[in-house]
Chain A
Amino acid sequence: MATRREALVGGGLLLAFSFASRGLGQLVGGGEGGAAPKALRPDLPGSLKNRPELDAWIRIAPDGAATVFSGKAELGQGIRTALLQVAAEELDLSPATITLITADTARTPDEGLTAGSHSMQDGGTALANAGANVRFLLIQAAARQWKLPPESLTTSGDGHVMAPDGRRLGYGPLAAALSLHIEAVPDAPRRDPAHYRTLGRDLPRVDIPAKLTGGAAYVQDLRFPGMLHARLVRGPSYGTRLKAPNLEAARAMPGVVAVIQKGDFAAVVALKEWQAIKAMRVAQASDYVRTLPPLPVTDGPHRLQSLPSREIVVLDTRDDERPATRTIRASYSRPWYSHGSIGPSCAVALASDGELTLWSHSQGVFDMHRAVAELVGLPAKKVRCIHIPSAGCYGQNGADDVTAEAALIAMELPGRPIRLQWMREQEFGWEPCGCGMVTKVEASIGPDKRIAHWTYEVWSNSHNNRPVMAGGYAVAQQVVPPLLMQEPKPIPMPEGDGDRNANPLYVFPNMDVRYHFVPEMPLRVSALRSLGAHLNIFSLESMLDELALTGGVDPLAFRLAHMQDERARAVMIEATRRFDWAHRPRGDGRRGCGMAFARYKNIGAYCALAMEIEVERETGAIMVHRVQAAVDAGQPASPDGIRNQVEGGIIQSLSWAIKEAVSYDDSKRTSFDWGSYPILRFLDMPGSIDVHVMDRPGQPFLGAGETAQGPTSAALANAIADATGARLRDMPLTPEKVKAAIGLAG
């Protein structure tokens, strides 16, 4: 290996530019889930470090057909298309000619989770460099055949290496004479961004046509011969148990093939889906009891502040005492959120010949094949897990649980594929919620109108309870004997979880930032898009406006005065320029504008946005007139793909900030349908949303899927304060809260 590497480097090919992602994104999947496999080659970029052999990523058949393998999964974020673009660019092939295989424990590299906006940083980077390696090997092979110096050769864009005199050699024959079962080199020459054919173009997403025409696109659409339909019989929410499920009556219902019962875990299995649902209802018509301590009805997320916690010092930069002219103390919070996938979780499982195959929308099929193996008592290598897309999950919804449950059922009915789908209310009741959180901030400005002190505390549960062992599944507490629960752990910085983005990218003196990590979970929680960054950025960016206001400084100028990162400044300037911030309508009691900024995790994409809103004083209703964002995600694979993600993030974050909260009484969650858990609908939509994607040719990919969540909610609160003078700090910022702040007389 070493000799080949030397040979390659010695071949005189110098780096076009180096891919500077080293040092970034060391934690695969944002540190959630299990660790990715050990880094075998820390010198390689992205996920190549864990799986350095090129043929794990790319294979080229003798007829020239290219197959590309990725451990990352399509979650509706368009990653398939982006990965194809990356591979196509560096292989210099048309994306249409590449077959892409994703997230299959039997076929693709283990890239850990698809999460934390790491797919492009890890997976995209790996494919880019693997592609560059392969293309480089192909060029070298042609050079040997033609006896020409490799640097005189080019590739054609359609699968050929070309000589200066126009001779062509196809990738297929060239590859046939090569072995790709070799390790990558770190510095294979990448294509020059000036000559990109695919990367940076708005390639229409490859998965969209099927979704618009009724093609089979989702795990819900899988149909296997002999497949049976299963439904669970359980209490209204996590932490409850049915007193007397009527399983005998269910067994007698038409079409019912089996009733499975393992401790409190019960399921009905039927020939047809509707038969399973009817049997489920018959079985489920029972009272329930709570099996866990009562839910904190009165104090909401503030309950976390009274639970035992572990203190983690995030930042401690006490330096010289500075004079403070004004000090502001404030506390901010958000409630528990539901992921609210439009399609409740679904999986298919098949046990046969001592092996188990799972088709799942889990973001972590690699963790899953180990954890489910433990759950059902098989060796991990006997469990194969294949990712199949489903409705957007935005973090850990019920996808992992439903797959584990389908596996348990399938083990009882070998040879029959089992399709298990959660009901809407089961998704709301049993999925891990996004964590409720509280922050407390005390900050001062000095006579120079700059921040003099910054003291910040955040209380949160772990945002990372993704199952890496059987005890991580909800069902582990239902079976007998119950399995040891997975211990909640915080994610270390720089990614962080509850403290994600609690460390300001701004330059403040005298910072004291602490994370009170609370292991005990009043509600079951796990990762929700952006984890703790949502409330931390909401708190930070709200407080910045409060300080700017008290200092009489424009919010944009105040931010710029504390920001040295040039790219951060650039997105702020770009977003506000496009918004025409300088000439924005000033708060007049009704209309108002707000802005906010964040660099996701301080190592991901940059996002600044400004919005104009109007508050209907008679009702407290908030109308968002326009939103202008600017995003720097490094080299965009597809700018429109990023725009789509960020637009969606803006709308979702507005929905969180304005409407959403998981409701509960002391025995169960009470938000169980779209009436009790409303989200934004069409009539609530902003008048316009414009997302500008910064052009950063050749810069490392920076995950953009979660970058808008924090800034959007913060800009909204800032705009409400600008419009009405009322500073709202506890989400959701409902019309009732607006009304309470401005008074019934408005």
Chain B
Amino acid sequence: MSGQKIPFPGRRARMSARLFRGYHPHTARYGAVLILAMALFALALSWRPAIAPIPVPSPSSFPAEQVARGAVLAKLGDCAVCHTAEGGRPLAGARALATPFGTLYSDNLTPDPDTGIGHWSAAAFRRAMKDGISRSGAHLYPALPYEHFTHVTDADLDAIYAFLMTRRPVHQEAPANKLIPPLGFRPLLAGWKMFFLHKGAVPVDPGRSTEWNRGAYLVEGLGHCGGCHTPRNLAGGEEGARAYHGGVAEGWHAPALDASNPAARAWTPDALYTYLRTGISPDHGAAAGPMGPVVESLASVPESDVRAIATYIASRMAGRDIGSPAPAPLDNEVAAAKRFPEGATLFAGACAGCHGPGAPMMGQGRPSLGLVSNLRDDDPTSAIQAILQGIEPPIGGRGPKMPGFADSLTDGQVAAVIAYARARYTDRPDWSKLEQTVRKARKERAQP
């Protein structure tokens, strides 16, 4: 198993559904009703024909160059992250994706004729990626982020198809989805798509560099970064007007990638590149939670693509004045201890061994907590999850490693530590309702 994606307890929930993430079960009901209304309106339009099955193509029928390109694109699209079960074969699906609406299981993307996509033609695959329609004609749940994949060029989709069709077929049926009614009724999805599926190519901005435009294409399309970093409305659609304003991912808060990004130091294209490539930026912190698998994928794609992504994202974050030169990281140790004495004590015994002055991590150039974005974010969720679940080295099993404290600290203690850390290492206002947020984060962590 060595080097495989290891289902660490703390990393268990790192990929779950992209659908309606972040909604509480009670709001889920409203969302369901809303979708029902939209869907009834659209029902007549919902029917799609099946695309005829083809004989399973021979792997040798795909040019090696196309397969190799597809391999890279599949990494950029993170296909294997959702389509691999815990401890299972890559791309063979059956990964449980928890949503407030129930549990979805990802499909088998290997060319197995019975349980995978062996009988799918390239056209069927393209339609699934662009329109969210299965070969059989059924609507797919937007857990498959076709609202992004729809922007991918046919040539790229064909390359991914070639890559998938040359994998070893794995016979593995995905378990049946367990969704709350009426969402099990797929034609409803037609309504959802009317509102949220905006087809067409990513526009090219001639005023920007080729690199930037390549980044835009990757980020808006295959990379589907907005899937987590853009807030969603009640029906689970991305709020286009607030693109990259921060969203929710598997119980973590995906920070804003616009000017409201909370980082203490500016995200330059170089800093972003280092972060996306290595999982850590000395000026910002380490990739944690669902971001781990993303940087793991990016570690093996061509450097130029990661640079392009970094350039595009950095441009979206531009506009905030950080001050120059960048201020030294804050450390209001005494003042913070006065305001949060319990948190100070807990921090000294639980956290200072790594994060305090004179600790080994500090001698190794790891970011001071004064630079870590999670502590500066308006939303404490990710900071809380990092404490509860810990952090596993995202790339090659080597890198930042932090234990989870879920079993050693109570909700109140996590709240106390985090309130103290925020006061000590940032100039941001106190978080409110921390203990409730910890309780909620703990519950979401407990989901499959």
Contacts and interface: CB of A to CB of B under 8 A. Distances in A.
A621 B68 contact: no
Interface stretch (A43-51, A561-569, A669-677): A669-677
B86 to A, nearest CB: 11
Interface stretch (A361-369, A406-414, A530-538, A731-739): A731-739
B3 A745 contact: no
Contacts of A678: 393, 397-398
Which of B4, B168, B393 neighbours the largest number of chain A CB atoms within 10 Å of its CB? B4
A623 B1 contact: yes
Pick from A282, A286, A676, A745 the residue with the most CB of B within 10 Å: A745
Interface in B334-359: 348, 352, 356-359
A244 B91 CA distance: 54
B25 interface: no
Interface in B389-416: 393, 396-401
Interface string B359-390: 11111100000000000000000000000000
Contact of A735 (B3, B358, B393): B3
B104 interface: no
Given A424-B360, A619-B4, A658-B2, A745 B300 contact: no
Given A621-B4, A675-B401, A746 B71 contact: yes
A674 B360 contact: no
A519 to B, nearest CB: 30
B167 to A, nearest CB: 7
Nearest to B299: A736
Contacts of B2: 621-624, 654, 658-659, 680, 684, 735
B90 A619 contact: yes
A745 B360 contact: no
A675 B399 contact: yes
Nearest to A242: B363
A619 B3 contact: yes
B364 A672 contact: yes
Nearest to A740: B300
B397 A659 contact: yes
A683 B163 contact: no
Contacts of A684: 1-3, 6
Contacts of B72: 744
A278 B75 CA distance: 45
B401 A673 contact: yes
Contacts of B352: 281
A735 B396 contact: yes
Contacts of B4: 616, 619, 621, 623, 683, 735
A255 to B, nearest CB: 14
Nearest to A288: B363
B5 interface: yes
A670, A677, A744: most-surrounded residue (chain B CB, <10 A): A744
A672 B360 contact: yes
Contacts, number: 116
A717 interface: no
A744 B364 contact: no
Contacts of B300: 736, 739, 744
Interface string B209-232: 000000000000000000000000
Nearest to A236: B363
B400 A618 contact: no
A619 B75 CA distance: 11
Interface in A280-298: 280-286, 288
A423 interface: yes
A22 to B, nearest CB: 44
Interface string B27-61: 00000000000000000000000000000000000
B166 interface: yes
Contacts of B91: 618
A48 B247 CA distance: 75
Nearest to B399: A675
Contacts of A616: 4, 89-90
Among A622, A658, A683, chain B packs the most CB atoms within 10 A around the CB of A683
Contacts of A587: none
Of B67, B70, B398, B399, most buried by chain A (CB within 10 Å of CB) is B398
A624 B3 CA distance: 12
Contact of B360 (A236, A286, A736): A236
Contact of A285 (B75, B358, B400): B358
A425 interface: yes
B234 interface: no
B204 interface: no
B350 to A, nearest CB: 13
B80 interface: yes
A422 to B, nearest CB: 12
B155 interface: no
Contacts of B399: 675-676
A236 B363 CA distance: 6
A654 B364 CA distance: 28
A674 to B, nearest CB: 6
A158 to B, nearest CB: 51
B64 interface: yes
Contacts of B71: 743-746
Contacts of B363: 235-236, 284, 288, 425, 672
Nearest to B84: A618
A675 B364 contact: no
A624 to B, nearest CB: 8
A739 B400 CA distance: 23
A263 B54 CA distance: 79
A590 interface: yes
A186 interface: no
Given A284-B358, A618-B80, A676 B3 contact: no
A657 to B, nearest CB: 10
Contacts of B5: 619
Interface string A705-746: 000000000000000000000000000001110010001111
A235 B163 CA distance: 49
A260 B3 CA distance: 44
A617 interface: yes
Interface in A217-239: 235-236
Interface in A582-628: 590, 616-624
Contacts of B348: 278
Contacts of A624: 2
Interface string A240-275: 000000000000000000000000000000000000
A618 B79 CA distance: 12
Contact of A734 (B3, B75, B163, B361): B3
A745 B163 contact: yes
A281 B356 contact: yes
Contacts of B396: 734-736
Contact of B90 (A618, A668, A680, A743): A618
A618 B167 contact: yes
A88 B194 CA distance: 86
Interface string B60-83: 000010011011100100001000
Nearest to A283: B358
B393 A745 contact: no
Interface in A495-510: none
B393 A236 contact: no
A285 B357 contact: yes
A659 B357 CA distance: 30
Nearest to B400: A675
Among all A-B residue pairs, the 8 with the closest Cβ atoms: A675-B401, A281-B358, A735-B3, A425-B360, A285-B358, A618-B90, A621-B4, A285-B357
20 contacts: A281-B356, A285-B358, A616-B89, A616-B90, A619-B4, A619-B5, A622-B2, A623-B1, A658-B3, A659-B2, A672-B360, A672-B361, A680-B2, A684-B6, A734-B396, A735-B396, A744-B68, A744-B75, A745-B70, A745-B71
Interface of B: 1-7, 64, 67-68, 70-72, 75, 80, 89-91, 163, 166-168, 300, 348, 352, 356-364, 393, 396-401
Given A619-B80, A673-B401, A678-B398, 6 more contacts: A425-B360, A654-B2, A658-B3, A675-B398, A675-B399, A676-B398
